[in-house]
Structure 1
C-alpha cells in the first residue's frame, strides 16, 4: 500500500496540471490571450496535432506568435509572425469583428 501512495500523488499532480493547462479548440469574437511564461498555448487543433499561441524565446521576455507541432516534446514551429520583432511579455492578441 505504501508503494501505491507516490503513484497516486503523482497522478493527482498530473491531473491538476492538465486542468490548469487546458486550451481552447474554438475561438469566438472578443476572445483574447496574452504572452505569458506560464501559458503559451491558446488554441489547439481538433486533432491535437497543432497548437497556436505565444512561444517564449529562450532566456528573454520575448515571444513569437506561432503555430507548432503539439504532440512532440520539442516544440517545432510551423509558422510564426513578425520574427524580426518578437512580442514582449504582456502582449495581447484579441479577435475582433471587422465591420468593413
Structure 2
C-alpha cells in the first residue's frame, strides 16, 4: 500500500511539474535522444536512463535529481515489482489518458 501511495504521489508531482514546465500534450521522448522533461526549477528530470549492466542497450523510464553530478534516480517504472526496461527506439508520450511507453514496433510496454 505504501508503494502504491508513493507511486500516486510521484505521478501527481510529475503531472503538476509537467504542466508548469510547459510540456505539451502529445509530447514524446525517445531512447534515441538525450532529451528529458525537467521540473520548473530544474531540480528533477523525467525521461530515459540507459542501463549499463546489460549487454544490449536497454533503458528505464525514471525521475532523477538533475542538479547533482551523479543524477540519482528517485523513481523508476516497474511491472510486477521488476524494473520495466525498454529497448533502443522506444518512446514515452504524454496523452489525455496519461503516460504511454511503447516499443519501437509500437507495442505497449
TM-score by length of 2: 0.59
Where structure 2 has 5 or more consecutive residues not aligned to the other structure, the ranges are: 1-20, 98-109
Q: Post-superposition, which runs of at least 4 consecutive aligned residues in structure 1 deviate over 2 A?
A: none
More strand by share: 2
Quick one: higher RCO (CA 8 Å, sep 6+), 1 or 2?
1
Which of residues 52, 55, 58 in structure 1 aligns to 2:46? Answer: 52
**Which residue, out of 34, 37, 40, partners 1:43?**
37
Rounded to whole Å, the distance in 2 between the matches of 1:90 and 1:46 is: 27
Alignment of 1:61 with 2:61, yes or no, is no
Q: What RMSD over aligned residues (CA atoms) do the two structures have, in Å?
A: 1.6
- Structure 1: tracts of 5 or more residues without a match: 1-24
What TM-score, normalized to structure 1? 0.63
